[in-house]
Amino acid sequence: MRFRAKIVDLACLNHFSRIITTIAKLAKTCILRLTVCKLYFILSDKVANGGASMWCELSQGNFFDEFQMEGVAAEHNEIYLELVPENLSRALKTAQSAKAVKIKLTNKHCPCLRVAVELPSLSSSSRIVTHDIPVGVIPRRMWNDFREPSVPDFDVSIYLPVLKTMKSVVERMKNLSNFIVIEANLSGKLNLKIETDLVSVTTHFKDLGNPPWASEDGCQSSAQGRDLESMAEACIDIKKLQQLLAGQQVNPTKALCNIVRKRIVHFILLHEEVSLQYFIPAIA
Amino acid sequence: LSRIGDELYLEPTENGLSLRAVNSSRSAFASFLFAPLFFQLYEPGSAGPDAELFRCKVHMKSFLGIFRSLPSLEKSVGKCLILLKPRASRLVLQLHCKYGVTKTHNLAFQECERLQAVFDTQRCASRLCAPARVLAEAVVHFPLTLAEVTLGTGPGGKISLRNYVEDEAEPSKTMVTELWLAEDEFQSVAVAPGSHITFCLKEFRGLLSFAEASNLPLTIHFDKPGRPVVFTLDDTVLEVHLVLATLSDLESNSRSPSTNGVSHLPAPSDDFADDLESYMVAMETSEGGSGGPPSPTFPLRTPQPAESDPQEQEEGAVPGTPPHKKFRSLFFGSVMTPGRPGPATTQEVLAEDSDGEC
């Protein structure tokens, strides 16, 4: 099992660093899955996470100048590691002026991801900072726990409003209630609602647009037979939603959510080089 | 100084005004000596044949409160007068501001013994001098919450800084960050090979930001683990010393190499072995080869020898650092001056305060 990668371009490094920071805000511990072409950050929906789960996928070619990996075996050419993304985020944070960043899987006393940052210095040799991030190697028999979640059979799919606006609304609502209701319909309307003994607050967004999803028979999902005005709602933990929104440092190219009424809300945030899916289960 | 202690000690001397502070566990001490030339007027007062110059200490917060907003002070204050009135029991700070406004602050003070840590930079085996900026850039890679850092010397004359991992922490769960600086980043390097010390980063950061702001090079004097590390800044009118206790290496049984230790294993030849960058290979194999100093293993827990400090007890016990900290307290004597070797006693004995007077 081997892994080594190198980033030389500063813009790629900063972009990668921002993604890791976003992941760190969503998960205390997560799985890093390495394949020849892609990196995945996975959080599975265990009870410990409050049932929330995450799937983040990026193409290594968009970030790394060198990327070599050899999985556990030829026919299972992948590596699954458990790590604390905050450690990786910290290691990359002070690398902003780096000449190069190398990441390597090592096993000196215990498996670690060694991040070596080469920094410019006024002296003849560069300054080198190494961060040894402890990781856990996930054995192959457990890989099935971390498969890509399928898109749920949703009632409504809708594009999200500008995330910054949504974030400031949710942040204020968080002071009043622990739970928030997201409801939306197929006419581009989305409401965020909280209700307590003393107060109820609803923020209405309209004209958001509903993304077209191809149905199984290949045709565009037809709106016929569906009530365009009826709202599908789910009540979720407001902190999870706030964490998701707070972690977004760059506006995604596309942001949408799929609501299965009273069951789950599935958020999809797409950027040019990275896609993030986040599932928040509804509170019973 | 406020990052170190809650009380500001003012000691006027013939050589200038010394401002000092010590932390509650007596493991950090700092002094700033302002030469008479720093001031427009400097009158230390007259000491009688039997008495010394008057000393006192005040609450750090009260003193700092007078200088709260530096930018506005710089614009409005013309002169600052500091007057010690022993008989009135007051330290007077008078700010002469624009438009004829005078602000007078009267601070209550307490008389005190001379505060002086025992240390001797001449007896330190190793010395490093670097521009403050280099050290500040080095320290930025460590989180603000990190308590202790280990400074060490490595192959090729490189100097390393590494976060110290407490022995209670699980090595397989803690991230280890290490930074290497080349010798030529320093203005001078005179170090004993294989030497290392571990000290508290928080207190050092305070001095570092002062050094950066004043653009002064910082000199680090250190010796064996357990002996204090002394940081100095020198200027024509200012002499700064920061003395920090360091973690002592105690004898340990053979242990598996700690994450904080110099690894004595050769580069591993297991599945993860890789053609390491030439730099890293040199680092790891030469560390493995050096049979030299013992690895800085985690010291065993031993109770610190009971240290008597009459003055501290008179003022009422202050909570020291938690008992599991193995830093030795610095040694405080009443009459030692820096530069002169301390008393040739064993390390366990604190120099007693001289009786009585202030």
**Would B301 be classed as within a structural domain?**
no
User: Is the same domain home to B88 and B22?
Assistant: yes
Domains, chain A, in order of start with CATH, read 2-145 (3.70.10.10), 156-217+226-281 (3.70.10.10)
User: Is the same domain home to B134 and B180?
Assistant: yes
**pLDDT one-digit tens code per residue, A106-128:** 988 889 999 999 998 877 788 89
Count of CB atoms situated within 10 Å of the CB of A66 = 13
The residues pairing with B129 across neighbouring beta strands, listed in sequence order, are B188, B219
Distance CA B208, CA A33 (A): 41
Residue B141: list chain A partners with CB under 8 A. Answer: 94, 129
Tokens standing for residue A122:
């006024």
Residue A106: list chain B partners with CB under 8 A. Answer: 268, 272, 274
Contact B67/A at CB under 8 A: no
- A46 pLDDT band, cuts 50/70/90, is confident
Tokens standing for residue B12:
């006027």
**Would B72 be classed as within a structural domain?**
yes
Return the H-helix or E-strand segment holding B90: strand B90-97
Q: Is the torsion defined by CA of A21, A23, A29, A32 positive or negative?
A: negative
Of B134, B137, B141, which to mutate for an interface test with A (greatest number of A Cβ within 10 Å)? Answer: B141
Distance CA A245, CA A256 (A): 12
Contact B141 A110 (CB under 8 A): no
Residue for token pair 């710089």: B74
Q: CA triplet B140, A99, B162: central angle to 5 degrees?
A: 35
Of B177, B264, B284, which to mutate for an interface test with A (greatest number of A Cβ within 10 Å)? Answer: B177
**pLDDT one-digit tens code per residue, A198-239:** 999 999 999 999 998 876 554 444 455 568 889 999 999 999
User: Is the same domain home to B133 and B31?
Assistant: no
Of A4, A106, A129, the CB nearest to B141: A129
DSSP, residue by residue, A188-212 = S-EEEEEE-SS-EEEEEE-------
Distance CA B153, CA B296 (A): 12
**Would B46 be classed as within a structural domain?**
yes
**Would B68 be classed as within a structural domain?**
yes
**Would B63 be classed as within a structural domain?**
yes
CATH classification at residue B68: 3.70.10.10
Contact A68/B at CB under 8 A: no
User: Is the same domain home to B185 and B143?
Assistant: yes
Nearest to B25 by CA among B324, B298, B240: B324
By the 8 A CB rule, do B147 and B198 touch?
Answer: no
Q: In what order do the strands lie in the sheet with B102-108?
A: B77-85, B90-97, B102-108
User: Is the same domain home to B105 and B150?
Assistant: no
Contact B185 A116 (CB under 8 A): no
User: Is the same domain home to B18 and B131?
Assistant: no
From residue B232, how far is each of B108, B121, B159, B348 by CA, in Å? 31, 9, 18, 25
Contact A28/B at CB under 8 A: no
Count of CB atoms situated within 10 Å of the CB of A270 = 14
Give me the half-sphere count of Cα atoms (radius 13 Å) on the Cβ side of residue B118. Answer: 22
pLDDT of residue A97: 87
Q: For chain B, which residues score pLDDT lower than 50? A: 251-325, 333-358
Nearest to A54 by CA among A91, A85, A95, A79: A85
User: Is the same domain home to B92 and B172?
Assistant: no
Nearest CA in chain A to B179: A129
Residue for token pair 């001490």: B29
Residue B304 per-residue DSSP state:
P
By the 8 A CB rule, do A239 and A25 touch?
Answer: no
Question: Given B216, B247, B278, which residue is the final one in a domain?
Answer: B247
> Residue B345's Cα: distance from chain center in Å?
22
Domain interval for residue B161: 126-247
Nearest to A83 by CA among A31, A35, A45, A21: A31
Structural domain count of chain B:
2
**Would B292 be classed as within a structural domain?**
no
Residue for token pair 């007693």: B352
Tokens standing for residue B74:
């710089």
Amino acid at A53: S
Distance CA A122, CA A139 (A): 45
From residue A271, how far is each of A22, A38, A60, A102, A249 by CA, in Å? 13, 15, 14, 24, 11
Contact A97/B at CB under 8 A: no
Q: What is the mean pLDDT of residues A36-57?
A: 86
**Would B38 be classed as within a structural domain?**
yes
pLDDT of residue B302: 30
From residue A246, how far is each of A40, A48, A270, A273, B36 by CA, in Å? 21, 21, 16, 20, 54
From residue A207, how far is each of A82, A159, A188, A203, A265 by CA, in Å? 41, 9, 5, 14, 20
DSSP, residue by residue, B10-34 = EEEETTEEEEEEE-TTS-EEEEEEE
Residue for token pair 């972690």: A247
Contact B181/A at CB under 8 A: yes
Distance CA A128, CA A120 (A): 9
User: Is the same domain home to B130 and B238?
Assistant: yes
pLDDT of residue B273: 35
> Residue A98's Cα: distance from chain center in Å?
25
Question: Given B247, B272, B288, which residue is the final one in a domain?
Answer: B247
User: Is the same domain home to B37 and B97?
Assistant: yes
**pLDDT one-digit tens code per residue, A161-181:** 999 999 999 999 999 999 999
Tokens standing for residue B45:
């007062």
User: Is the same domain home to B153 and B207?
Assistant: yes
Contact B266/A at CB under 8 A: no
pLDDT of residue B171: 67
Three-state secondary-structure class, residue A117: strand
Question: Given B220, B247, B274, which residue is the final one in a domain?
Answer: B247
Tokens standing for residue B107:
């601070």
Least confident of A18-22, A91-95, B93-97, B351-355: B351-355
Tokens standing for residue A150:
């399928």
DSSP, residue by residue, B42-84 = -------SS-PPP-EEEEHHHHHHHT--HHHHHHHEEEEEEEE
Residue B184: list chain A partners with CB under 8 A. Answer: 123-125
Contact A127 B180 (CB under 8 A): yes
Count of CB atoms situated within 10 Å of the CB of A38 = 14
By the 8 A CB rule, do A194 and A200 touch?
Answer: yes
Contact B275/A at CB under 8 A: no
B255: left (phi over 0), alpha (psi -120 to 50) or beta: beta
- Tell me what the pLDDT averaged over chain A comes to: 89
Contact A129 B182 (CB under 8 A): no
Contact B185 A127 (CB under 8 A): yes
Distance CA B32, CA B19 (A): 5
**Would B311 be classed as within a structural domain?**
no
- What phi and psi values does residue A252 have, to the nearest 5 degrees? -70, 160
Residue A30 burial (C-beta neighbours within 10 Å; 0-12, 13-18, 19+): buried
Q: Are strands A66-70 and A111-119 parallel, antiparallel or unpaired?
A: unpaired
Nearest to A284 by CA among A266, A264, A255: A264
User: Is the same domain home to B33 and B77?
Assistant: yes
Amino acid at B313: Q
Residue B1 burial (C-beta neighbours within 10 Å; 0-12, 13-18, 19+): buried
* Residues B36-41: contacts with CB under 8 Å, at least 24 apart: B37/B236, B37/B237, B38/B237, B38/B238, B40/B79
pLDDT of residue B260: 40
User: Is the same domain home to B171 and B208?
Assistant: yes
